[in-house]
Structure 1
């Protein structure tokens, strides 16, 4: 989707009820300050700053190529930040290896699901708990995932490659939950799914959040994402151009014009 000049020039006021999301005196669960990421000569992320409030659903929306996935990869340690700082629970995780970031509690569900198709559903889920060594705890988390996704219990001993697209997305989310994250990063969970399945996925995400899990969502389905979001940021060509509550951005004329068809 093409960027509109109006959106690039727009400035959003932070609603008073959400000021704790960005106030320096409030301790967010995760804070990003002046993050820059480049791929060779391509400056993909241009000095963005944002915060994730504990227990909230926060969304980063924008068009293809805006830098959304790159931002997630930087948080996960899968790409190196050119400059800037990333802090989780007040401690720097900038430059940490990905597996150490997972151990801290920051876990990503990759774009495209990345299921291991030649392994069973159960084996995929068990791999998600690779940083945890207590068998009883792992069994308990597996049971919680099966309770959340009954279809995965039914298909537990079948190959992951035989699952439908929606079931594979459930598996990807379940695998991430096996690591018992404190914040769940999701990259385009609605990609390639039928509308009715998309609704199910977003309902499940809201259910997970209501159980206390902090969620950071990167999503092109702007309408669905903003509907479940407590707070959101709009990213355009590597820069944040708008922020506010999900409801306020859903009704923002520039967001409607650029992403919602009028």
Structure 2
């Protein structure tokens, strides 16, 4: 497989604070790649930099061979890189249908029946609550809606920031099953997670971020069995 995204020497700073330091990684087309680490390691800052939502102090980002390092966020989205934000960020005073329709806004349509059928196959609960307010959904259902809304944009690369955060174990399993199905349909996923075990079980490749720098990389199974990961993140 070829690399769909290549990141070299990425640095992100907030004033004098270095959140991400000289990070290099690549995402293979059609794969799931996980970026794991403790809270405050720089994972979300990495995603925000890829999306053009925070300034890159240094480094380059290439997507499908194009240098997108300095593109603003709306142009990154136009290239097909869609992020599911930490905390879901759904529009709570709008209906589930309206949230999904807004996901397709860059396509100059509200989504085709086939688009709706696809997300309902992944998340049947959304169909049951289609005309209800998004703010009345449970936390797990809101996360399903956030992912479904992103899929309505027909992404070429899906970035997910802590999709399991705050969810009960059964709902976490449901979300990860959906991500596996989405990837099986050919979509490249970049998953940022504190739930190291779940993320590395799902991912073909993973990176461990510590204090803003990459500490380890390898296949998901390799990292799951790495002594440093076992001790620091899995309590073994």
Q: Which residue is 1:10 aligned to?
A: none
The structure with the larger Rg is: 1
5+ residue gaps, structure 2: none
Counterpart position of 1:215: 189
Measured after TM superposition, the shift of residue 140 of structure 1 is 2.7
Which string of whole-angstrom CA distances, capped at 9 and with x for unpartnered residues, describes residues 218-257 of structure 1?
Answer: 0000000000110000000000010000000000011000
How far does residue 134 in structure 1 lie from its aligned partner after superposition?
A: 4.5
Contact 1:234 1:240 in 2 (8 A): yes
**What residue in structure 2 maps to residue 50 of structure 1?**
25
Checking the alignment, whether the CA contact within 8 Å between 1:128 and 1:178 is kept in structure 2 is yes
Q: How big is the alpha-carbon RMSD for the aligned residues of Structure 1 and Structure 2?
A: 1.0
1:138–1:178 Cα contact (<8 Å) kept: no
Instruction: Name the SS for the 2:70 alignment partner.
Output: coil
Q: Structure 2 CA distance, aligned partners of 1:211 and 1:51?
A: 20
Q: Which runs of 5+ in 1 are unaligned?
A: 1-19, 21-26
Normalising by structure 2, what TM-score?
0.98
SS for the counterpart of 1:29 is strand
| Secondary structure in structure 1 of the residue aligned to 2:106 | coil
Q: Could you tell me how far 1:143 is from its partner in structure 2?
A: 2.4
Aligned residues between the structures: 236
How much has 1:113 moved relative to structure 2? 0.3
Equivalence for 2:45: 70
Cα 1:99–1:146 change in 2 (3 A) is: same
Question: What secondary structure does 2:83 align onto?
Answer: strand
**Residue deviations 1:36-86 (CA, integer Å, cap 9, x gap):** 110001100001000000010000000011000000000000001011100
C-alpha separation between the residues in 2 aligned to 1:72 and 1:183? 12
Please give the residue correspondences for 1:49-198 in structure 2 after superposition, counting only pairs within 5 Å: 49-134=24-109, 138-198=112-172
What is the alpha-carbon distance in structure 1 between the residues aligned to residue 40 and residue 125 of structure 2? 34
Tell me the distance in 2 between the aligned counterparts of 1:119 and 1:125: 10
Are 1:248 and 2:222 an aligned pair?
A: yes
**Cα distance, 1:138 vs structure 2:** 3.6
Q: Who is 1:239 aligned against?
A: 213
- Which protein has the bigger strand share? 2
